[in-house]
């Protein structure tokens, strides 16, 4: 049986990011490691439900994707964000901001029906999505007519033309399982 094991994230400051992820999300260091031949150090962090995050640092690494929001991240192929299922998006969002995360998208209904979501960035700018799948709110897709601004950053939270949550599918789009 195949199952998800971990996500690897390259960081500029391994010690600082290990401390932040552990303090902000209650992760624990499962083990540290080093590959001397390639000057690589890492830490495997363990979440309370068994999910794992591997932080890696190699001397000379360069910043990659530094998206201001999820719509911008989707313009670059490859890693875009890490998503965490949380019991209360608003509380998790507030806790992460208090721990030093940056606002990228305030809590709101997700385009996925029945889900609430928010986005933050860790201290190095890596996007983290927070999801609450226990809500009963309806969602759908609609194109945003204008960009909105973040409360803490000047970068747009949702870009022009990006998908935004609404209470029903857009006109002319049949719900899943129904003919269009």
For residue range 113-171, list pLDDT tens digits in order.
899 999 999 999 999 999 998 853 334 443 333 333 344 443 434 444 344 443 333 33
> What pLDDT is recorded for position 163?
45
Could you tell me what percent of the chain has a pLDDT over 70?
A: 74
Q: Are 134 and 140 in contact (CB under 8 A)?
A: no
Q: Which domains, and CATH codes, for the chain?
A: 6-58 (3.10.180.10), 70-165 (3.30.720.110)
What DSSP state is assigned to residue 113?
T
**How many CA atoms are closer than 13 Å to the CA of 131, on its beta-carbon side?**
13
Name the 3-class secondary structure at 58.
strand
Instruction: Answer whether residue 64 shows pLDDT above 90.
Output: no
Distance between CA atoms of 26 and 36, rounded to whole angstroms?
A: 29
Strand partners, 2: none
Distance between CA atoms of 101 and 126, rounded to whole angstroms?
A: 10
Phi, psi of 114 (to 5 degrees): 80, 10
């Amino acid at each position: 049986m195949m199952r998800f094991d971990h996500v690897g994230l390259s960081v500029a400051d391994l010690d600082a990011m290990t401390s932040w992820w552990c303090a902000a999300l209650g992760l624990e260091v499962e083990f540290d490691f080093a590959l001397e031949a390639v000057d690589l150090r890492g830490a495997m962090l363990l979440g309370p439900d068994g999910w794992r995050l591997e932080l890696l640092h190699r001397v000379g690494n360069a910043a990659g994707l530094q998206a201001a929001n999820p719509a911008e991240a989707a313009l670059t192929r490859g890693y875009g964000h890490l998503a965490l299922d949380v019991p209360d998006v608003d509380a998790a969002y507030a806790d992460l901001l208090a721990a030093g995360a940056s606002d990228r998208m305030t809590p709101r209904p997700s385009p996925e029906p029945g889900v609430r979501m928010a986005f933050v960035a860790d201290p190095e700018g890596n996007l983290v999505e927070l999801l609450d799948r226990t809500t009963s709110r309806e969602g759908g897709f609609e194109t945003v007519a204008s960009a909105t601004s973040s409360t803490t950053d000047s970068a747009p939270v949702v870009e022009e033309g990006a998908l935004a949550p609404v209470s029903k599918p857009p006109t002319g789009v049949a719900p899943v399982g129904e003919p269009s």
